[in-house]
A and B are shown apart, each in its own frame.
Chain A
Amino acid sequence: MALLATIHRRVIDMGLVPKIMKRLPLVSIFLAAIGIVLFLMLPMDGQYRHTYISENALMPSQAYSYFRESEWNILRGYRTEIDIFPSMPSRDRNLVMTQWLEEFGTKTSVYHNDEYGDTLYGIFNAPRGDGTEAIVLAIPWYNADGEFNTGGAALGIALSRFFSRWPIWSKNIIVVFSENPDGALRSWVDAYHHSLDLTGGSIEAAIVMDYPSSSDFFDYVEIYYHGINGELPNLDLLNIAIQITEHEGMQVSLHGLPKESLHQNNYFSRLRTLLLGTKDALLSGIKPRHGNEAFSGFRIQAITLKAKFTPDNNDHDITSFGRIAEASFRSVNNLLEKFHQSFFFYLILAPKYFVSISSYLPSAVTFSVAFAISSLSSYINNSYSTLPIFSEYNLLAGLLFTISITFSFFVARLSLLFTEPRLLVLGSVFLSVLPHLLGNRFTIPEPLSYRLKSIAFLYISLVLTSLLVLNFSLAFGIGILGFAMTAVKTITIHSSMRVRVRNTMHLLLSNPFTSVLLFTYIFDKDIYGIKIFYEFIHSWNTLNCWTWFIICVGWLPPWILVSISSIQTNTVMQSPDYGKKQL
């Protein structure tokens, strides 16, 4: 305590408190800068860690993988048959596949869904174990890019046949052929947990296989792991998949990094993976879905394996792709418990490097503190700080806040019914420019402007705080994109034109819709433009991805308040009572 007391004494001596109080907006910007610096420091040596297999029972690649040699002949045999599948209706395709699956004793069933089509699934009951748990091998007929998954389907049936010969399984094996990795797979997962009659127990892990080619050879493997709503599969599952892939001699690419950059290992390569990973997590469920997202939310650890081809350098055969699934299944099969040992919150810097939550969380925390300080600043750094709590301005600000939240909620809800992204963007631009246009035709009391900002920043700070553990990337993203809000100044009759224009710019930059549009335009070529809004709605409808609602309910209301607060103000004369300093 002595140290604290000493510091306290020094602080008082130097009169720091009032000085800092005056410069709170600077402190807020400083904190935000610290947040970004902390984040950029993560890929530096000493800040990240090597991945390791935390659960000893997994033992990846410890057993020799036998999916090779003549299994390749069988795989090719199936593939030749599957080659004609794209021209068949899905019903016939499923019928043929059902027949093949039942030949080696798999129980099959077809889940019918009017909206997403039929999903065929087969269960191979575990010869060991009590059959209350299962591992899923999911093969979408068409992958995220709309290509027919010929190799994947051939691998699915050949692997199921191969698995059925092994007596080692202690968990049921479920093989799923869905129409696509998106809504169709998700609707099956939903139905599996609610209404299907043929079930194989609780699903522990799922591997989605994507091999969209009839070629025997491929180059390297892409692994997708981001679940929706900030969920990630247990790091152990990702680790075993990466370890097995590298053990089989293939390179692993995360977040779609191109082949050339896979061998790099320096600060910038790690930073690139980190930034891409954060972006992918932020847009997970909204970007094209690879299949692992469909399992999110049911305590299922899921990853997608995607084979990548290059024009000249395809030197790994399709069975080695199958061996990744085989060895991963054997590892998961070893588990006596649920996945619980390793991390559920992490950021990946390279296939073998990661940072855990304790290292990366502070950068998001600083943002939420920065907003809180901005809120404090707009409350006390003006002549109205002594207004009583129940003053009319506070109450009016509270009322406006309630209205804006309700309004935002209706915007979110109505968008589900009529998606009119252009209207939203135009409305946002209009609201940003409106205070400027109004000029002095319409004014609000000055204290109200401060109170509105105070409430807005406090609210967004709370939103970010509650979000930062669950969905770090989203919290961090909103923090950065929305930070420009704190720079919006209260306009008085004396304010210069420059301040007014700058306010409008800040408002435009920090608006949820325009900034998301801008962000994806610059950073994600997959979904830029108006399309992203449709994807938001789609991901809510099919996957229950909250991102749209968090943006609408967490980010839009404070922005509306800030927008109102930038309307020109009229100075309020304070009654002598208000200004009376109490000693």
Chain B
Amino acid sequence: MTRFEILVSANDENSLDDEVSLLLEDSTNAGSFGEETHVSIDIPQNQDLTDESHSSIEIEDEPIEIHDDNIVQESHEAKEDEEAKHAREERKQAQLKLMEQESQSYHEELQLQPLMNNHIRAGFVFQMTSNEFNFNDKSEFEYIHHGSIFPKSMRHILQETKSHALHLRFQRGKWDAEKWGALPDNGYYIGGSGAELWSSVEASDKNSAYGQWKILANSLSGMFCASLDALDSTHTIFPKYSFIENDFANNNFRSPVFNEQHDLFLLHGSLPNEPVCTENLTPLLKLLPTRGKVGLSSILDGHRVFDNPWHNLALDLNTICDDITKKCKYTLDIHLDMVFHIPTVQARNDRPIPKPLTGENLRCDYSKPYDAFQCFPLPDENSITYVLSDVFGKKINGSPLISSIPSKICLKAPKETWNFFIVVNDSVYGTDSNCFDLSDDNADKDQDFYIQSDNTDLIATEKSPISITRSLSDDNNVRTVFKNTNDYPLEILHLESVPWFMKLYLSTLTIQISNSSPKSLRNEDSLERTVNFTSIYYSPAIDRKTSNHLEYKLTIPQMSTVIISYSFDKSLLQFAEYPPDANHGFEIDSSIVTILSPMNYYVRSNTLLLLLSTPDFSMPYNVIILTSTVMCLIFGTLYNFLVKRMVPLKYADIYNKRDSPIAKLKTCMRKFI
């Protein structure tokens, strides 16, 4: 066990000016789109900036309009086959012509990947690219507003908030890395439990960047029916290392486009308690040019997308610019990933309520004692047969005419044990690559996909490179366990955002290492060198303003487990800061692990639940009422006791005589005389 000295960076740059943040919060609350509001935010300390530097942000409200120009709706009314085909062909030609002119594109793809224990991952990818345009040329800039497949609302948000990129994630459920292997696409599109948003924003300083971020969050909150408006300064951090290389370097776009003097700021926030449901899916589908009516998106149904052990919705919006031509374009990627357990899905189709099976349907192990009364259950079958519409409850409706590349469906599984066929009007076709292009010709036909395997345990999944578990222990400790089961070390970046009501004691940070193979570690002294705990960035929380932000690089040696733990204290919240009703605890954001080498991989830890001492809110009133009553009683009595003397009646005369003024006078006189 080794203790590390940690340099705590000055927090001043991170802190937000009171006045400004207040102003921002007040005004940005009204800044959601779709209302007739005109909001201007004045940031007082930037008086010297030029007009162009946007010291005041103006939101002129434009209600979001969704263009209907490009909707390709397949009508299933009875029409002459030929006529319909002809008309469609014509439409498609027109669309493609338009697309070619405008260099915009739309592509969709579905990747099916069987996982262990009869699970299957369905990964939908929808990619849209806007026309190229020049930021400096206003007319060209306006050009992409019209007749584009790129959703206008997205472009609007980017421009209003001067953001270059935004990434939105909704995730629920637990990815079973042990069984299902690595996350799809290196985990880049997979968020932490709840909702997560990060964005690079162009602004003159941190405060105005935060202002724009608030507007962004509020707009997205309205658009996606999520509580993203709750991403206030206590939920927002400016990542120091994480996400940087993806949002800055990979986009080959570092320089500001809206204003030359501005900088780019990366902001990140997450809401671990956000439930993900149909109302988050519908707005995503509405962004597609097909509106979820045609093509792959037509099988997405909220009942199925969210009725599974794990699902993730991701939206990535990027600005890509060419340094030479100075032309830019927007890209919008929507990734929907979900994991189904096929036997459960099939059982749900047969019997919506998982009632006990009838005796004859029980699958019993006949090698064990078996009769009419007892049955030792068999595990799930190893061979499986189903069609895609069993899983999604719907069939794919045609193919989007708008796209120049046909929609694609692939099964990522070994060809030897998995069969993947397209079924069109009872005819079955297969391909070598296990990939199918959705053809327009089949649009009116009954098409489905047939998946069959006799050995479902033979699958093509990569091993998850790292496993991370985070837990809160009873004695106020945050414990993070990184497990590397590879035979090579992993260099990782760990980002933790911990709310202000957890007061961290970084002095208590300890790193423990235990390894399964004795070779990887020579002796205890080399721990510091092995773990290579570097690039530590820590910005402590300011009560009610910012959260604790901790980032560090770490090397997890091969075949070993590194445990990082530190203690914290719970703060007492103010009366009004508790949620309005008795709650189940406070959710702590999942931490973000980025593997830097030897590969790029992203993974989030689980979220945590912190229990703060929650008062019984009716108690203070009871106490106040009771104590006030008691105090009144005591005061009255006490006052009486102090100023009155109670004596029995028979002595009263004696006392009266003794204490009367005349008697006192007599005593006085007697002293003198």
- Residues in chain A within 8 A of chain B (CB atoms): 1, 4-5, 8-9, 12-13, 15, 66-74, 76-81, 103-105, 107, 125, 127, 130-133, 161, 165-167, 193-199, 201-202, 204, 298-299, 335-338, 340-341
B116 to chain A, nearest CB (A): 9
Nearest CB of A to B547, in Å: 18
B594 within 8 A of A: no
Which residues of chain B come closer than 8 Å to A12, judged between CB atoms? 646-648
Asked whether A81 and B376 contact (CB < 8 A) given A132-B609, A197-B481, A201-B609, the answer is yes
State A161–B368 Cα separation when bound (angstroms).
18
Expressed in whole angstroms, the minimum distance between the Cβ of A352 and any Cβ of chain B is 25
Q: Which one of B140-148, B170-178, B209-217, B487-495 contacts A?
A: B170-178
Taking a contact as CB atoms closer than 8 A, the residue among B357, B358, B472, B581 that contacts A337 in the complex is B581
B308 at interface, CB cutoff 8 A:
yes
Indicate if the CB atoms of B359 and A70 lie closer than 8 Å.
Answer: yes
Q: Known contacts A13-B648, A70-B356, A77-B376: does B609 contact A198 (CB below 8 Å)?
A: no
- Given the interface pairs A70-B357, A73-B373, A166-B354, the reply to whether A5 lies near B583 with Cβ below 8 Å is no
Given contacts A15-B648, A105-B117, A131-B193, 6 further A-B contacts (CB under 8 A): A132-B585, A133-B609, A194-B474, A196-B471, A201-B608, A202-B611
- The answer to whether the Cβ of B584 comes within 8 Å of any Cβ in the partner chain is yes
In the bound complex, how far is the Cα of B667 from the Cα of A271, in angstroms?
69
Could you list some 8 contacts between A and B, CB below 8 A?
A: A66-B355, A71-B356, A73-B373, A73-B375, A104-B379, A130-B272, A195-B479, A337-B582
Q: Is B362 an interface residue (CB 8 A)?
A: yes
- In the complex, chain B residues whose CB is within 8 Å of the CB of A298: 474
Residues of A within 8 A of B649 (CB): 13
Residues of A within 8 A of B355 (CB): 66, 69
> How far does the Cβ of B5 sit from chain A's closest Cβ, in whole Å?
26
Q: How far, in whole Å, are A13 and B652 apart by their CA atoms in the complex?
A: 11
Nearest CB in chain A: distance from B4 CB, A: 21
Please tell me if the beta carbons of A77 and B636 are within 8 angstroms of each other in the complex.
Answer: no
Which residues on the A side are within 8 Å of B483 (C-beta)? 197
Contact of A80 among B194, B368, B479, B587 (CB under 8 A): B368
Contacts of A8 in B (CB 8 A): 637, 640, 646
Among A13, A73, A131, chain B packs the most CB atoms within 10 A around the CB of A73
Q: How far is the CB of B524 from chain A (nearest CB, A)?
A: 20
Chain A residues with Cβ under 8 A from B584's Cβ?
Answer: 133, 204, 335-338
**B370 pairs with A77, CB closer than 8 A:** yes
Q: Which residues 618-652 of B have a CB within 8 angstroms of A?
A: 633, 636-637, 640, 646-649
* A9: nearest chain-B partner, CB-CB: B646
Q: Once the chains are docked, how many angstroms separate the CA of A74 from the CA of B376? A: 6
Decide: A167 near B587, CB < 8 A? Known: A8-B646, A12-B647. no
CB contacts under 8 Å to A, within B361-410, are 362, 364-365, 368-370, 373-377, 379-380
Q: How far is the CA of A363 from the CA of B91 in the complex (A)?
A: 88
The answer to whether B273 has its CB under 8 Å from any CB of chain A is yes
Contacts of A74 in B (CB 8 A): 362, 375-377
CB contacts (< 8 Å) of B636 on chain A: these are: 1, 4
Complex-state Cα separation, A135 to B583, whole angstroms: 17
- Flag if A130 contacts B585 (CB, 8 Å): no
Nearest A residue to B477 by beta-carbon distance?
A194
Contact of A107 among B178, B472, B474, B607 (CB under 8 A): B178
Does B370 lie within 8 Å of A193, measured CB to CB? no
* Interface-centre pick from A107, A130, A166, A167 (highest chain B CB count, 10 A): A130
- Of all A-B residue pairs in the complex, the 8 with the closest CB atoms, nearest first, are A77-B376, A76-B374, A193-B474, A132-B609, A103-B379, A73-B375, A69-B356, A1-B636
Is B129 among interface residues, defined by CB-CB distance under 8 A? no
- In angstroms, how far is the closest chain B Cβ from the Cβ of A326? 12
CA A78 – CA B368 in complex, angstroms? 10
Q: Does B534 contact A (CB under 8 A)?
A: no
A193 touches B473 (CB 8 A): yes
Interface centre among A1, A66, A127 (most CB of B within 10 A): A127
Residues of A within 8 A of B471 (CB): 196-197, 199
CB distance from B109 to the nearest CB of A (A): 27
Tell me, in angstroms, the Cα distance from A15 to B649 when the chains sit together: 11
B475, A194: Cβ atoms closer than 8 Å: yes
Q: Please state if A78 and B362 are interface contacts (CB–CB under 8 Å).
A: no
Contact, CB under 8 Å: A338 / B582:
yes
Shortest CB-to-CB span from A55 to chain B, Å, is 10
Take A70-B358, A132-B608 as given contacts and tell me if A5 and B640 are in contact as well, using a CB distance cutoff of 8 Å.
Answer: yes
Q: Is B469 an interface residue (CB 8 A)?
A: yes
Shortest B115–chain A CB gap in Å is 11
A76 contacts B637, CB within 8 Å?
A: no
Residues of the A chain whose Cβ atoms lie less than 8 Å from the Cβ of B347: 165
A320 CB, nearest partner CB in chain B, Å:
14
**Residues of chain A lying within 8 A (CB to CB) of residue B583:** 337-338
Residue in B closest to A128 when the chains form the complex, CB atoms: B172
Select A194's contact among B173, B273, B473, beta carbons within 8 Å.
B473
Q: Is B256 in the interface zone, CB < 8 Å from A?
A: no
- The answer to whether B354 and A77 touch across the interface, beta carbons within 8 angstroms, is no
B508 at the interface (CB under 8 A from A): no
Which residue in chain A gives the minimum CB-CB distance to B472?
A202
Contact code string B217-250 (vs A, CB < 8 Å = 1, else 0):
0000000000000000000000000000000000
Per-position 1/0 for B117-144, Cβ under 8 A of A = 1000000000000000000000000000
Give the docked Cα–Cα distance between A5 and B358 (Å).
81
Find out whether the CB atom of A132 lies under 8 angstroms from the CB atom of B607. Answer: yes
Q: A69-B356, A194-B475 given as contacts; is B370 within 8 A of A131 (CB)?
A: no
Of B174, B308, B473, B481, the residue contacting A125 (CB under 8 A) is B174
Given B178, B369, B479, B606, which contacts A131 in the complex, CB threshold below 8 Å?
B606
Which residue of chain A has the shortest Cβ distance to B119 in the bound complex? A105
The answer for the CA separation of A4 and B472 in the assembled complex, in Å, is 56
Tell me the complex Cα distance, A340–B618, Å. 12
Q: Does B373 contact A76, Cβ atoms closer than 8 Å?
A: yes
Interchain CA distance A15-B583 in the complex, whole Å? 57
In the docked arrangement, what's the CA distance between A132 and B369, Å?
Answer: 40
Which A residues touch B474, using CB under 8 A?
Answer: 193-194, 298
A70 near B375 (CB under 8 angstroms)?
yes
